[in-house]
Amino acid sequence: MIRWEEVSERLEQSATEEILPELPPVSEESAVLEAPSRDTPPLASEASSQPPPQPQSGKSISWLRLAYSAVFLLAILSIFTFWSEVGGQGHLDLMPWYTKMICVLVSAWCCVRLTAGMVEEPSVWNRRTVAWLAGLILISFTMAAITFYYHLHEETDQPDSDENTATAMTPKSPRMLRSFAE
């Protein structure tokens, strides 16, 4: 059985045993830190202490392009599957091909740009990702409206012609009544 006192003692011992690097001695002149004003340009020593941002290497960009292509193809498949399941395959069959193609390609492009905004920016939720998510939601509502239009304007299964109408007959003589009874 583990006692919590033993665990906390072990943690305290390991924390005190960590070796920290020694800091160089601080002179009195450098001990007073002044915040630089915004009007003065940074000193040459301050500018050189911060490394300039490194551009991405060509190898990582090619991997990103491959990943974005995979996201695009996966988005096309998942959007078609989701749209046929939610909207109904019958309604999709009534739509022209170019309507479906435009909606799916725009939606997949929004998915790729949303992913790129998440990968290329330091924080996941930023202005780019919110904009592309809004575009994705907008195209989703457009796809729903198109599906609803075709739902309202689909042809009924019952024909409008009078091919199967019933006809009433009345016999004129009592003899005919007997023939119907037999």
| Res 62: pLDDT | 84
As a whole number, mean pLDDT of residues 114-140 equals 94
Residue 44 lies in a domain: no
> What is the domain extent for residue 119?
74-152
Q: How far apart are CA 101 and CA 113, in angstroms?
A: 18
pLDDT over 70 for what percent of the chain? 53
Number of domains in the chain: 1
Residue 168 placed within a domain: no
pLDDT for 130 equals 95
Q: Per the domain annotation, does 42 fall within a domain?
A: no
> How many Å separate Cα 133 from the centre of its chain?
7
More confident residue, 70 or 28: 70
Residue 130 placed within a domain: yes
Residue 97 lies in a domain: yes
- Give a yes or no: residue 137 inside a domain: yes
- Token pair for 19: 């070796």
Q: What is the pLDDT of residue 74?
A: 97
The answer to whether residue 94 sits within a structural domain is yes
Is residue 147 domain-resident? yes
What tens digit of pLDDT does each residue of 16-37 get? 455 555 656 665 555 445 444 5
150-169 pLDDT, tens digit per residue, is: 999 887 766 656 566 666 66
State the pLDDT confidence band at 149, using cuts at 50, 70 and 90: very high
> Taking all residues of the chain, what is their mean pLDDT, rounded to a whole number?
76
**pLDDT of 77:** 96
Q: Can you give the pTM of this predicted structure? A: 0.55
**CA 82 vs CA 68, 78, 86, 88, 135: distances in Å:** 20, 6, 6, 9, 18
